[in-house]
Structure formats: C-alpha cells, structure tokens
C-alpha cells in the first residue's frame, strides 16, 4: 500500500468523508499504531488505524456494484430497533460496501454501492451537477403546464429546486432528470402541485444505467463504465 494521508485512508475505507475524518482526528478519536493521529498524518503499509478503538482496514480490492433496489428496503444505517430490511444486509456482499447516496424506502431502481469512500463522496457532491434519471407515475393525469413548472424549479425545503428536464411518457407518467438530491425531492415537488407519486424508479446515475437488471439483484460495474464515470468526475 502506498503511503497516504489519514483522512484519505478513512475515506477510502468507507468510514466517512475526508472532511468528517478531519473532524474525528481533531476530536482525538483516531489513532495510528496506538498514538493519536494528527491532521496530515500518513498511513503506511503495516500501520494499524483505529477509530474509537475499532480497527479500520482499507480493502485493496475496489468494489463498485449497481443494484436494483426493490421497494421496502432502506438505505440508512442499520437500526437494531427497526424491522426494516437494510440494503447492506440484503445484498450480503463479501466485501464491506455501503450505498452511494440514498433511495427512499418507497422508491425502487438503481443505486450504487462501493467500498471506495473517496469515489463515493465525489459522486454525491451536488455541486458537480451529476445527472440522475427517474421514471415517475403520479395519481392523476397532468397537463403540459405541470411539466413546465416542474422543470423551472419548485419551492421546497426552504429552497428552489434546480432546473431539470422532464419528458411525458403517459397520461400520468413522466421521466425526470435531476442534478441534485434533496430529501424525497421528486415526491415533494409533485406534492407542491397537488400530485402524489405512486411509483418512482431510478433508471440512471450519470453514465450507469439500470437496464434489464432484475429487482433484488446486482452486477459489477464494467471497466468501461467505471472509466467513463471517473472521467466525468474530473
């Protein structure tokens, strides 16, 4: 393993972002070989890294999978008190992976999972305007004015959503491409105009498409897809 800064090591191990790692270091919760880590400390081959006395191991094998999440599965950290099915436990991947972003319990479709925290953080940064595409069905027919207003920005969560692209696919259905990921954004946007989402399915994240992947199954992202993804992240 090449020598890398401790915050990058923690990020790539999937513990947290580099910024959050710096916070943990300042709080004295990170150690290298039994000594408190400092901002800028370097981790080398054979070093033992701990956070709150938990040993952190960065996998040498980078994993990035595309999963077709069924409805009813949650993407949040496992809560012992909750009866919800957690995405990580559902997949039961041999490597320690975590979801890249979120897809709410009632939604379905494409979500990426990885053990590369640094790559995950770059994908999730909203300021990079990365596209995500969804198929949406609402509870009643809508007119073209609805699509126009949705595309121009909607006031939700004390902000105005970014302009987005919409395309009608039926009397009660449309495709939408977003470049941000506010909490339950599409549902809230529709609710603002008195429509209720009855089905929401994500079919694309940047250059990675859901395709014919069956619900509840996953596939490894291809080398070609990965290289194109990294290119877009630059």
Give the residue numbers marked as catalytic: 104
Q: Collect all residues with Cβ–Cβ distance below 8 Å to 54 and sequence separation of at least 6.
A: none
CA dist 2 and 127 (Å) reads 30
CA dist 197 and 182 (Å) reads 16
The Cα-based distances of 146 to 23, 165, 166 in angstroms read 44, 12, 10
CA dist 36 and 27 (Å) reads 10
DSSP for 169-193 reads -SSSEEEEEES---TTHHHHHHHHT
| Burial class for 16, CB neighbours closer than 10 Å (0-12, 13-18, 19+) | middle
CA dist 129 and 131 (Å) reads 6
CA dist 66 and 88 (Å) reads 13
């Amino acid at each position: 393993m090449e020598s890398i800064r401790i915050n990058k090591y923690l990020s790539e191990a999937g513990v947290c972002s580099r910024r959050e790692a710096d916070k943990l270091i300042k709080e004295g919760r990170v150690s290298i070989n039994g000594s408190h880590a400092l901002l800028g400390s370097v981790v080398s081959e054979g070093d033992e890294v701990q956070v709150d006395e938990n040993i952190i191991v960065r996998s040498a094998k980078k994993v990035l999978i595309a999963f077709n999440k069924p409805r009813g599965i949650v993407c949040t950290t496992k809560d012992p008190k909750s009866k919800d099915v957690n995405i990580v436990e559902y997949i039961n991947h041999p490597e320690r992976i975590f979801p890249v972003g979120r897809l709410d319990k009632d939604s379905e479709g494409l979500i990426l999972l990885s053990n590369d925290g640094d790559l995950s953080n770059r994908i999730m940064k909203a300021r990079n305007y990365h596209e995500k595409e969804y198929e949406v069905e609402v509870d009643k027919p809508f007119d073209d004015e609805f699509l126009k207003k949705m595309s121009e920005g909607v006031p939700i969560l004390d902000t105005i959503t970014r302009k987005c692209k919409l395309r009608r696919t039926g009397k009660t259905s449309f495709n939408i491409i977003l470049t941000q990921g506010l909490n339950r954004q599409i549902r809230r946007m529709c609710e603002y105009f008195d429509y209720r989402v009855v089905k929401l399915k994500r079919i694309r994240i940047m250059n990675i498409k859901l395709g014919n992947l069956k619900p509840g199954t996953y596939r490894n992202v291809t080398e070609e897809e990965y290289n194109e993804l990294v290119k877009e992240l630059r």
